[in-house]
Amino acid sequence: MAELSERQKLLLTLIVHEHTRTALPIGSKSMVQGYNLPFSSATIRNELATMTEMGYLRQPHTSAGRVPTEEGYRFFVSNLVQQTNLPANTRNTISHQFYQSPQGLENWLKLAASVLAKQSQAASIVTAPHTQNVALKHLELLSTRAAQVLMVLVLVGGEIRQRIFNLDEATSQERLSQIASRVNARYQGSTAQQISAETEEEDPLELSVLSHLRDEMERSGNLLTGAVYLDGLTNVLAEPEFAQSEQALSPMRLLEERTLLNDVISRTVMTEAVGGVQVLIGGEGTWEELRDCSVILTRYGIPDQITGTIGVLGPMRMPYGHTISTVRYVGGLLSDLVSDTLAE
C-alpha cells in the first residue's frame, strides 16, 4: 500500500467529508471553489487520477466526480479521522438520560440503543451483557406440576435465567426447596467449572438439578443467549443509498437474522481495534450483505467477567469521527453502570 502525500491526504479527507454530507460524487472544480484551495482544479485532477489508480477513489462513471472506495474509507478511518471527544453538552445530554432513566439493566440497554440510533442517525445494535465464568448467586427451584420444575437462577451480576425441566419422578416443593438450599449453601459463589469439579453428590435428584444448573450457567458463553436490542432501523431506510428498497434489503435482513448478526459481531469483535472501537467497512470481503454498509462496534462491561457489545450499522458514507466517539462514549457509560451494579 503506497503512501499518500500530505496533499493527497487532505484531498481524501475533503472528499470523505463532503461526500458524507451530500452523498454525491465530488469533482475537482467544486472542491477548489468550495474550500478555497491553493491549487488549481487541474492539479487536483492529477492527484485524483493517481489516487483513483491506487484504489482509494472511484468514479461512478467516466466524467463524474470521485467517491471514496472501501479502501479509501479504511485509510481515512485508520489514519485521518480525528479522534475528537464528544462535545461536552452532547455528553451531558446523553449521560443525563441514563441517570434519569428507571434503574435496571434492561432499561439501560434499551436506552443505549435509542441514544445510539438517534445520535448516529443509523441503526443501533445492543446485545445484553453475558457473563463469562460468573458465579452463582442464588438458585430457586419451584414445582410447577408433577415432575416439572421451574429453575430460577440469579448470577452474581444480577443476571437472571430461568429454565423449565422435568425430573425423573414427581417431587414435592419441600423436597425441591431442600435441594435448592443445599445447593445454595455449597455452591454459592462458584462458577460452572467449579461446580463441575466439586460435584460429588449421590442423590440422583440433586445430580439432575446440578447438571441443569451447570448447563444453564455455561450457556452464558453463547452469544445467542442474550437479548439483542435494535433501534433506528428506519434511519437506514431513510438514507439515499437505500432509496430503492432492494438495496436496503440486505442490511435489514442482516439485522433481522440473529445468526448472521451474531456472526458479524463475534468475528468483528475478535479483531484488533483502535481505541477499543472496531470499524468494519463494507463487509471487508466477507459479508456480501454489508457491501454498502459500515458497522462500528465496541465491547462494554467488565472484561472477562460480564461483557456485551454495542454499535451501529449505517451506510458506508458515515460521519465516522462522530459515530466512533458516540459509540465509545455510550460504551463507557454502560460499562460504568454495569460495574456499579456489580460492585458489592
Partner DNA sequence: AATTAGCACTCTCGTTGTGAGAGTGCTAAT
Partner DNA sequence: ATTAGCACTCTCACAACGAGAGTGCTAATT
* Contacting residues toward DNA, per CB under 7 A: 25-30, 38-43, 45-46, 48-49, 52, 59-66
Q: Which of 304, 312, 202 is nearest to 264 (CA)?
A: 312
Give long-range contacts, CB 8 A cutoff, 24+ apart: 170-173: 170/146, 171/143, 171/147, 171/205, 172/143, 173/142, 173/143
**Coil, helix or strand at residue 307:** strand
When CB distances are held under 5 to 8 angstroms depending on the partner's kind, the choice from DNA, a copy of itself, none that residue 242 binds is: a copy of itself
Cα distances (Å, whole numbers) of residue 137 to 154, 158, 185, 308, 319: 5, 8, 10, 20, 43
Task: Rank residues 80 and 228 by Cβ distance to a copy of itself and give the closer one.
Answer: 228
When CB distances are held under 5 to 8 angstroms depending on the partner's kind, the choice from a copy of itself, DNA, none that residue 65 binds is: DNA
At 30, list the grid cell: 467544486
When CB distances are held under 5 to 8 angstroms depending on the partner's kind, the choice from DNA, a copy of itself, none that residue 104 binds is: a copy of itself
Q: Where is 275: in which H helix or E strand?
A: none
By the rule CB under 8 A, 245 interacts with a copy of itself? yes
When CB distances are held under 5 to 8 angstroms depending on the partner's kind, the choice from DNA, a copy of itself, none that residue 40 binds is: DNA
Task: Rank residues 261 and 279 by Cβ distance to a copy of itself and give the closer one.
Answer: 261
At 78, list the grid cell: 485508520
Query: From residue 45 to residue 84, what is the string marking binding to a copy of itself with x (rule CB under 8 A)?
Result: ----------------------------------------
CA distance 235 to 123: 6
HSE on the CB side for 309, CA within 13 Å?
26
By the rule CB under 8 A, 216 interacts with a copy of itself? no
Query: From residue 150 to residue 189, what is the string marking binding to a copy of itself with x (rule CB under 8 A)?
Result: x-x-x---x-x-xxxx------------------------
Cα distances (Å, whole numbers) of residue 200 to 74, 186, 203, 206: 55, 11, 9, 10
Contacts with a copy of itself by CB under 8 A lie at 103-104, 137-138, 140, 142, 144-145, 150, 152, 154, 158, 160, 162-165, 231-234, 237-238, 242-246, 248-249, 252-253, 256, 341, 343-344
